[in-house]
Amino acid sequence: MKTTRLLLSALFAVLLASCAQPPVPQDHFYRMEAPMPAGSLAKTPLAGTLEVARLQADGLTAGRPIVYSDAANPLEANEYHYHFWTDTPTVMLRDELVSYLRNAGAAKTVITPEMRLEPDFVLTGRIKRMEQIRGTVPKVLISLELALRDRREDRLVLVKTYRMEGETPGPGVAAAVGAMNAGAAEIFARFVADLAAL
């Protein structure tokens, strides 16, 4: 009898242990914080108020989960289940662009549409790609189309697609986010250089 109880207890313990679930994976949240320019331009390229509209993006890129693709299958895009941006890339990238343009002195005043002021210039854009590329050499890719319109003269001043692809210091998501922040700043610097050349 005692042996039967002991066997039943051991069997119950084994069954109970087999039903235990592994811990639920923890969600991770990342900020977009592009490094700001070292200084401002000697001459402000846009003498007036510049409004930076919320950026557009396709459904996958516009979401909060971080997007990735595999180097072996570059046409297939996926999203992480437990790695998210703190806000949508369309808002975060726009806000970083606004801060960058203000710090660079790209316009007399840089605003967003929420301020409800009449701008002299309007900057619109589309995030074409913003993802981690997993492979033997981990990378990130950002492609951003920007269009600047002069509202006073109702003309297109500049439209250009900026692309940055670079290696990350490691294969993890945090390393990719750091590289995306640096890549965004590189694209912003090239855009400001194009403004200065107008």
pLDDT band at 87 (very low <50, low <70, confident <90, very high): very high
Which ranges of 20-163 does DSSP label H, i.e. alpha helix?
Answer: 59-62, 89-104
Q: What is the pLDDT of residue 1?
A: 56
Question: Tokens 């309007």 label which residue?
Answer: 122
Whether the predicted pLDDT of 29 surpasses 70: yes
As a whole-number percent, the residues of the chain with pLDDT over 90 amount to 85
pLDDT band at 57 (very low <50, low <70, confident <90, very high): very high
pLDDT tens digits for 100-147?
999 999 999 999 999 999 999 999 999 999 999 999 999 999 999 999
- Report the distance separating Cα 50 and Cα 97, nearest Å: 12
Whether the predicted pLDDT of 11 surpasses 80: no
Q: What is the pLDDT of residue 18?
A: 60
Q: What is the pLDDT of residue 12?
A: 63
**39-69 CB burial, b ≥16 within 10 A, e <16:** eeeeebbbeebbbbebbebeeebbbeebbbb
Enumerate domains of the chain plus CATH numbers: 44-196 (3.40.50.10610)
Average pLDDT over residues 23-40: 92
3 φ/ψ angles, rounded to the nearest 5 degrees? -65, -40
**Cα-based torsion angle of the residue sequence 138, 187, 39, 44 in order, rounded to the nearest 10 degrees:** 180
Which ranges of 64-165 does DSSP label H, i.e. alpha helix?
Answer: 89-104
pLDDT tens digits for 143-189?
999 999 999 999 999 999 999 999 999 999 999 999 999 999 999 99
Among 35-39, 86-90, 192-196, the range scoring the smallest mean pLDDT is 35-39
Q: What is the pLDDT of residue 7?
A: 60
Average pLDDT over residues 5-29: 70
40 φ/ψ angles, rounded to the nearest 5 degrees? -100, 160
pLDDT band at 25 (very low <50, low <70, confident <90, very high): confident
Whether the predicted pLDDT of 13 surpasses 80: no
- Report the distance separating Cα 47 and Cα 152, nearest Å: 12
